[in-house]
Every structure is written in structure tokens, then in C-alpha cells.
């Protein structure tokens, strides 16, 4: 595939590799050495060392899944509002999964995609800031497509094939994924922040449900996710009042 046909700009500059260490790492090097166009895509079906949130490892069986990084230039987004970019991209990946799975698809804060209680996709976003705005954004997406056996200690993985029983053409799905992300990104570009935030909440895993959570010191507490706070922090209502968490500060049980 030389370029993504279905989109206006995402994937028009396409770097596709038989194998690569990390698409996000390659994107970082590309930005350092050149001036890649807005919407440049780096992808492979054999990623040797994919990264997840907090430096965790992303398992992907060769030639079974999509590993992709998109370089965007959302210079119209203020640094203080950068979580809305996270929300837009999460909605785009969720929209993609919903194309093939009709029920149970949710966004687990901050940007994992779940099918009921199983993880089907992960997103890693790295923003570089200049003055008060985002300069470049490196958006890594790992999507489980045709893999059916997972060997890592990830507690709850699933894939499109496990959920549907069908095999999928990775090139066709890559086109669809780019289109779905672009659609949400254009919505963001049109300044539809409130709509994006509202849809993100509407599709948030465990939103307004009484659940048990765990904090890093090991203690458990009961609470209810009621919203997203400043800079994308998770707002959890408890019997002792409102609590606010950043990434890795609270664990879903």
C-alpha cells in the first residue's frame, strides 16, 4: 500500500514496514530529522517492541494486528485543552471498533478501548508543546485484530476475531481506522470541543456505576465515575467526597 485512499490527509504520507522496533519511536526520529506532513502514518504488522501507557509492553503477534502511529499538528489546540485531543482520538478508535462489533464497546479512561470487560485497543499519545499550544502529536494505536492467543500477563485481552469469529484484511482495516480517526480530528478542528467531551462521557466505561477501585498503596475504595476534571483527570465520587486521579493513580478492579 503506497497511501491511504479513503482519507483527506491522514495516511497520504505513509511509511509502511515489514517490521519495525516501534512506530512511535520512528515517528519521534522522523520529526527530529525532517518535517513530516500533518497526518503522516507509520505502520507495521510486525512491531518488535510496542509501547503502552507508563512504559508497559504492548503484545502483538506478527501479521495479526494493526500497529500504527499518526503524526498530527494540532496547533489549534491550547496546551491546557490537550486532553480533548485524547478524547477525539479515543472516539475515532472506538468508532472503528463499533463498525465491526455492535455492542459493549466503550472507552476505558483514559484511552483504552474495551469490549465489555476486555481490552481490544490501546492508545499512546505524546504531545510536544510550544508556547501555549500543541506543536506536534505522536499518536500510537495498537489494535488486536486476528490474534486469538495472548501470551503476556495482560489480564483481559480480546480481538476482533475473538469477538466475531471472522478473519479480517489488515490493509482494509487500516484504511478504515485512519478514516475514523480523521473524522473525529476534523470535528476537533471545527472546535466542537463540547460535543467531543459529551460523547466521550457517554461512551466511558463504568461511567456513573458504583464500582471498587484501588490506589497505588493497595487500599480499595468504592466510588462512582462522574466526570473528567482539569487536564483529563478522572473524577470519582466517594462517600468521603470527590476524588481526582491522574493516569496510574487509580486502578480499575
CATH code, domain with 141: 3.30.930.10
Question: Are residues 113 and 196 part of one domain?
Answer: yes
Q: Are 50 and 22 in contact (CB under 8 A)?
A: yes
The packing angle between helices 193-202 and 83-100, to 10°, is: 50
Determine the Cα angle at 216 with ends 139 and 244, to 5°.
65
User: Residue 58 above 80 pLDDT?
Assistant: no
Q: Which residues form the domain of 184?
A: 14-202
- Mean pLDDT value of segment 21-50: 93
What does the radius of gyration of the chain's CA atoms come to, in whole angstroms? 18
User: Residue 133 above 80 pLDDT?
Assistant: yes
Question: Are residues 243 and 197 part of one domain?
Answer: no
Task: Please report the pLDDT score of residue 148 as a whole number.
Answer: 96
Q: Is residue 1 part of a domain?
A: no
Question: Are residues 196 and 241 part of one domain?
Answer: no
Task: Please report the pLDDT score of residue 52 as a whole number.
Answer: 56
Question: Are residues 175 and 122 part of one domain?
Answer: yes
Q: Are 250 and 215 in contact (CB under 8 A)?
A: yes
Question: Are residues 151 and 113 part of one domain?
Answer: yes
Question: Are residues 55 and 33 part of one domain?
Answer: yes
Q: Which of 11, 18, 44, 17 is nearest to 185 (CA)?
A: 11
Q: Is residue 5 part of a domain?
A: no
Q: What is the pLDDT of residues 68-93, one digit of tens each?
A: 999 999 999 999 999 999 999 999 99
Task: Please report the pLDDT score of residue 111 as a whole number.
Answer: 94
Q: How far is CA 246 from CA 40, 232, 240, 250, in A?
A: 29, 8, 19, 8
Q: Is residue 4 part of a domain?
A: no
- pTM of the complete model: 0.95
Looking at beta carbons, which pairs linking 226-233 to residues 24 or more positions away fall under 8 Å?
227/201, 228/83, 228/109, 228/197, 228/200, 228/201, 231/80, 231/82, 231/83, 232/82, 232/83, 232/86, 232/110
Question: Are residues 23 and 105 part of one domain?
Answer: yes
Burial readout 197-232 (b: 16 or more C-beta within 10 A, e: otherwise): bebbbebbbbbeeeeebeeeeeeeeebebebbeeeb
Confidence of residue 55 (pLDDT cuts 50, 70, 90): low
Q: What's the number of domains the chain is made of? A: 2
Question: Are residues 229 and 159 part of one domain?
Answer: no
Q: Is residue 239 part of a domain?
A: yes
Question: Are residues 195 and 155 part of one domain?
Answer: yes
Cβ count near 247 (within 10 Å):
13
Amino acid at each position: 500500500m503506497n497511501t491511504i485512499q479513503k482519507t483527506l490527509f491522514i495516511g497520504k504520507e505513509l511509511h509502511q514496514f515489514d517490521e519495525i522496533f516501534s512506530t512511535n519511536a520512528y515517528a519521534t526520529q522522523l520529526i527530529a530529522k525532517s518535517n513530516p506532513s500533518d497526518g503522516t502514518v507509520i505502520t507495521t504488522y510486525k512491531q518488535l517492541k510496542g509501547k503502552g501507557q507508563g512504559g508497559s509492553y504492548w503484545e502483538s503477534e506478527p501479521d495479526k494486528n494493526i500497529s500504527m502511529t499518526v503524526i498530527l499538528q494540532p496547533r489549534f489546540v491550547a496546551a491546557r485543552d490537550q486532553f480533548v485531543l485524547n478524547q477525539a482520538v479515543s472516539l475515532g478508535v472506538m468508532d472503528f471498533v463499533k463498525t465491526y462489533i455492535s455492542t459493549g464497546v466503550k472507552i476505558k479512561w483514559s484511552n483504552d478501548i474495551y469490549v465489555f470487560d476486555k481490552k481490544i485497543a490501546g492508545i499512546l499519545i505524546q504531545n510536544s508543546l510550544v508556547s501555549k499550544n500543541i506543536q506536534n502529536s505522536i499518536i500510537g494505536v495498537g489494535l488486536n485484530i486476528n490474534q486469538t492467543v495472548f501470551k503476556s500477563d495482560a489480564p483481559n485481552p480480546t480481538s476482533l476475531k475473538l469477538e466475531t469469529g471472522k478473519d479480517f484484511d489488515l490493509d482494509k482495516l487500516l484504511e478504515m481506522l485512519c478514516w475514523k480517526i480523521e473524522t473525529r480530528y476534523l470535528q476537533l478542528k471545527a472546535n466542537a470541543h463540547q460535543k467531543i467531551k459529551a460523547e466521550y462521557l457517554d461512551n466511558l466505561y463504568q461511567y456513573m456505576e458504583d464500582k471498587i477501585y484501588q490506589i497505588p498503596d493497595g487500599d480499595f475504595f468504592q466510588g462512582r465515575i462522574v466526570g473528567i476534571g482539569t487536564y483529563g483527570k478522572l473524577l470519582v465520587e466517594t462517600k468521603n467526597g470527590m476524588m481526582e486521579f491522574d493516569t496510574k493513580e487509580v486502578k480499575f478492579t
